[in-house]
Structure 1
Amino acid sequence: MFTRTSRRHWLAAAAMTGAAALALTGCAGGDAGGEYDPDEEVTLNFTWWGNDDRADRYQQLIDAFEEEHPNITIDGTFTDFPSYWEKRKTEAAGGGLPDVWQFSDSYLREYAEPGLLLDLDTVAEYIDFDAFEDSLKQTGQLEGTQYSLPTGYSSWAVFLNDGLLEEAGVEPYEGGTTYDEYTEWMAEVTEATGGEVYGGTDMTQRIQTFENVLRAEGDNLYTEDGELGFTEDQLRDFWNSGAEARDGVAIPQQQLEEIAPISGFGSNRTASEASWSNFLGGYLADSGAESVTLVAPPLDVPGGTDLYRQAGLQMAISADTDHPEAAAMWLDFVVNSEQAGEIFGTTLGFPASETKLAGTTLEGVDAQVAEYLESVSDRIGDAPPVPVVGYGSLEQTFWDLGKSIGLGAISVDDAVSQFFSEAQVILG
């Protein structure tokens, strides 16, 4: 079972994990096919990425599940997002993936195609698929096979620390302006506080911002054929657009390196930050802020549908689990139970299943997320193509290069060349 001690041990181990190539050896996904024995003592390994707030909520859910199923013990661990996927690569190469794990649709092809994920139809007796709309259920499907299920869905948002802005005497960012106007607003905050609190973070570090820029223009990060959907010039223009923010307006990258894995917003060093809407609860916990507001991210193309209903946070079962039925029961509890809705609210995304939503009381933070999703409904477009194999690695490469640009360790031109060179290798 998850403990503070085991968490520290996990984080220490994750920090020592080097970048390992994912040696996908084509493990065949086995059939469940067995009868569940409610008297058999079972221990399931379960892992996720996130912060202390998410860990505390998972522990509450684990306790509730174990009370209903006293023969099943959930051994939970967690770490930050980058370390999480490096650990999974190492485990995949060695054949030791967790029984159940928090998953991302970004990695669906990468782990499903070589047979590392269990076909959930083989344990359909233990999972309520009917609680999901088809469009959300399909986010965990590859060529018609259900490999994962979403915990919820989110949209990209800008978070504002209301208390810090009040102290600075700066009006809150209204949302939905151009990117240049958002940068001007950040500069106002930084100037008003003398740099004690920065207006925000360089948005060009995140591939999600680039995705929004591309989608507003009718493009996507990648094509249905598994190729990049943008050119070197488009990426160069995007990274160059962050030059003004990096010139004393946004928090310096060196400061972010010193406080990682806590973000600038979570540590109260920035008054705004862009991320997924379901991060609201975690941001409140990390920052200790009394009030955080969500507003629409910038948009340079009037009427552009740059946002989408992102159901990237999913749950999956490893193909080589020794306890597929028990694992399916735990997965179903996470994505479908009313207890999950009550404990997590919207912090894992707005509930994707109707049964989980039934347990969610939409008040406070959860009502705020629901109101935000409604407020940007006119900017919601079609979902992007199923992520290409290696998208998770591309996302991390993009982030790493963006941070290197911020540190002055690499020029934009060299970063563009390096990204496309690595993309060519990753995408084959």
Structure 2
Amino acid sequence: MFTTKRALTGIALGAAAALALTACAGGAAEPAATFDPEEEVTLTFTWWGNDDRAARYEALIEEFNKQYPNITINGQFTDFPSYWEKRQTEAAGGGLPDVWQFSDSYLRQYGEPGYVLDLGTVKDYIDFSTFDEALLGTGQLGGTQYSLPTGYSAWANFVNDDLITANNLTPPEGGTTFDEFSSWMAEVTESTSGAVYGGTDVTQRIQTFELALRADGKNLYTEDGELGFTEDELKEFWESGQELRDGITVPQSRLEEITPKSGFGAGLTATETSWSNFLGGYLADSGASSISLIAPPTAKEGSKDLYRQAGLQMAISAKTEHPEAAAVFLDFVVNSPEAGEIFGTTLGFPASTSKLEGAVLEGADKQVADYLTSVEDRIGEAPPVPVVGYGALEQKFWDLGKALGLGAVTVDDAVKQFFDEANVVLQG
């Protein structure tokens, strides 16, 4: 845990665009209490991520305290799975952090029961006019704004250029078919005798399955909050990864030994697919001097299977004792030029115009920006708001994918377990 506070005098509050929120949040929120800019306030703040992200947040909090010395921020972070386990416990006990890194995957789960604050109640302290309507919509339910995105990303394929050069490998092409990419991974693993694997089993990730579904005009879930695929479709998808698990990709047993690092972060694989904003973290974890971003493989050439994912968001606990101060801090995280300068694209390409103004798009940040431009023709409409419990289902999918890699379950068993879990979650 770290605590940052600066004993500076004076404070300035930026006025918010209240009308913009009224349009996007239904205008039904009660007005916030008057905010005393000189009151000594302590807020809890938490996020998931690695040491690189923690260092950036610490720097941001220091900048925040130059303007708001009376607001002390107590910050904590953990890995993604542990993060949501703890939030679930806190929600049940009424003890969520004042401000917390959020995800649209959990929007229904935390928004519908009222665990997160309706940002319309603090509209005088947050500028909503800096976001376009599509990005605002990623944090809305029923016209109510529960969270705001820090940025947006697209699914990408990361390539460790150092490993490619050191092993005299031919780099992969972007946007190939899955079969072509699997063949490339096999060549890498064979040519290095397993010293470097071509990649990780891409069928472990629900996002890869999502790409395959979207190529056929489907989604993981429907507008009505149901699954958008069948057991047979999931079975076919997981069966397609058997060849990868039989020696092409890095063994799951090796990955278990290096957790929480990924195979790519540990230098075991030449490639890994993930969200484009992971570039900064991958550079920090892997120590690579150069990492390329290329388009991920596709199930159908010419399809609009990619989309702008604004899943990383910021929210406020509905039970915070300091909603106005929490809103001031949330606004600083999502809107300030300082946040743009400190985070660049590591929380996604800046979602707000004011944050983008502070971002210096060079090096890794320019790479991410260039990548997003390069795949614009492949970007389709965003999927529906995730179903209640989507975060748990995403984790279940990943856990079952790893179990398949360890040989602990069969494909049939994995499919049954996933749908049994989905039935419980969706009916819950």
**8 Å contact 2:158–2:271 — kept in the other structure?**
yes
> Which residue number in structure 1 is paired with residue 2 of structure 2?
2
Q: 2 CA distance for matches of 1:423 and 1:41?
A: 45
Summarize the alignment of residues 13-92 of structure 1 with structure 2, pairs less than 5 Å apart.
33-92=32-91
> Which residue number in structure 1 is paired with residue 223 of structure 2?
224
> Which residue number in structure 1 is paired with residue 133 of structure 2?
134
SS in structure 2 of the partner of residue 88 of structure 1: helix
> Which residue number in structure 1 is paired with residue 346 of structure 2?
347
Structure 1 position 68, deviation (Å): 1.2
Summarize the alignment of residues 202-241 of structure 1 with structure 2, pairs less than 5 Å apart.
202-241=201-240
> Which residue number in structure 2 is paired with residue 370 of structure 1?
369
> Which residue number in structure 1 is paired with residue 331 of structure 2?
332
> Which residue number in structure 2 is paired with residue 280 of structure 1?
279
Structure 1 position 31, deviation (Å): 5.5
Matched, 1:251 2:250: yes
**8 Å contact 2:337–2:355 — kept in the other structure?**
yes
The one-letter amino acid of 1:268's match is G
Q: 2 CA distance for matches of 1:58 and 1:236?
A: 41
The one-letter amino acid of 1:56's match is A
The one-letter amino acid of 1:43's match is T
> Which residue number in structure 2 is paired with residue 416 of structure 1?
415
Q: 2 CA distance for matches of 1:371 and 1:142?
A: 32
> Which residue number in structure 1 is paired with residue 355 of structure 2?
356
Structure 1 position 427, deviation (Å): 0.3
The one-letter amino acid of 1:399's match is W
Structure 1 position 168, deviation (Å): 1.3
**8 Å contact 1:44–1:74 — kept in the other structure?**
yes
The one-letter amino acid of 2:159's match is L
Q: 1 CA distance for matches of 2:287 and 2:208?
A: 26
> Which residue number in structure 1 is paired with residue 6 of structure 2?
none
The one-letter amino acid of 2:204's match is Q
The one-letter amino acid of 2:142's match is E
Structure 1 position 40, deviation (Å): 1.4
Q: Does the C-alpha gap of structure 1 residues 136 and 80 become closer, same or farther in structure 2, counting only changes over 3 Å?
A: same
The one-letter amino acid of 1:2's match is F
SS in structure 1 of the partner of residue 138 of structure 2: helix
> Which residue number in structure 2 is paired with residue 159 of structure 1?
158
> Which residue number in structure 2 is paired with residue 8 of structure 1?
none
> Which residue number in structure 2 is paired with residue 21 of structure 1?
none
Structure 1 position 162, deviation (Å): 0.1
**8 Å contact 1:108–1:387 — kept in the other structure?**
yes
Structure 1 position 175, deviation (Å): 1.2
Q: 1 CA distance for matches of 2:98 and 2:322?
A: 8
Structure 1 position 32, deviation (Å): 6.4
Q: 1 CA distance for matches of 2:152 and 2:309?
A: 5
Matched, 1:289 2:288: yes
> Which residue number in structure 1 is paired with residue 100 of structure 2?
101
**8 Å contact 1:201–1:250 — kept in the other structure?**
yes
Matched, 1:379 2:378: yes
Structure 1 position 377, deviation (Å): 0.6
Structure 1 position 107, deviation (Å): 0.3
Structure 2 length normalisation: TM-score?
0.93
> Which residue number in structure 2 is paired with residue 301 of structure 1?
300
The one-letter amino acid of 1:274's match is T
Matched, 1:266 2:265: yes
Q: 2 CA distance for matches of 1:194 and 1:30?
A: 62
**8 Å contact 2:48–2:78 — kept in the other structure?**
yes
Q: 2 CA distance for matches of 1:87 and 1:256?
A: 24
Identity of matched residues, %: 71
Q: Does the C-alpha gap of structure 1 residues 143 and 405 become closer, same or farther in structure 2, counting only changes over 3 Å?
A: same
> Which residue number in structure 2 is paired with residue 26 of structure 1?
none
Q: 2 CA distance for matches of 1:257 and 1:329?
A: 41
Structure 1 position 35, deviation (Å): 1.4
SS in structure 1 of the partner of residue 129 of structure 2: helix
Summarize the alignment of residues 169-188 of structure 1 with structure 2, pairs less than 5 Å apart.
169-188=168-187
Structure 1 position 33, deviation (Å): 2.3
Q: Does the C-alpha gap of structure 1 residues 30 and 89 become closer, same or farther in structure 2, counting only changes over 3 Å?
A: farther
The one-letter amino acid of 1:143's match is G
The C-alpha deviation readout for 1:171-230, integer Å capped at 9, x for no partner, is 111111111111111111111221111110000000000000000011100111111100
Structure 1 length normalisation: TM-score?
0.93
Q: 1 CA distance for matches of 2:295 and 2:425?
A: 33
The one-letter amino acid of 1:120's match is L
SS in structure 2 of the partner of residue 130 of structure 1: coil
Structure 1 position 255, deviation (Å): 1.0
**8 Å contact 1:256–1:263 — kept in the other structure?**
yes
Runs of 4 or more, structure 1, over 2 Å off, are 29-33
Q: 2 CA distance for matches of 1:127 and 1:389?
A: 27
> Which residue number in structure 2 is paired with residue 20 of structure 1?
none
**8 Å contact 2:277–2:368 — kept in the other structure?**
yes
Q: 2 CA distance for matches of 1:224 and 1:300?
A: 23
The one-letter amino acid of 2:328's match is M
Q: 2 CA distance for matches of 1:31 and 1:282?
A: 40
Q: 5+ residue gaps in structure 2? A: 4-27
> Which residue number in structure 1 is paired with residue 190 of structure 2?
191
SS in structure 2 of the partner of residue 125 of structure 1: helix
**8 Å contact 1:30–1:319 — kept in the other structure?**
no
SS in structure 2 of the partner of residue 315 of structure 1: strand
The C-alpha deviation readout for 1:262-304, integer Å capped at 9, x for no partner, is 1110111111000000000000000010000000000121211
Structure 1 position 30, deviation (Å): 9.7
**8 Å contact 2:211–2:299 — kept in the other structure?**
no
Q: 1 CA distance for matches of 2:237 and 2:243?
A: 12
**8 Å contact 2:29–2:120 — kept in the other structure?**
no
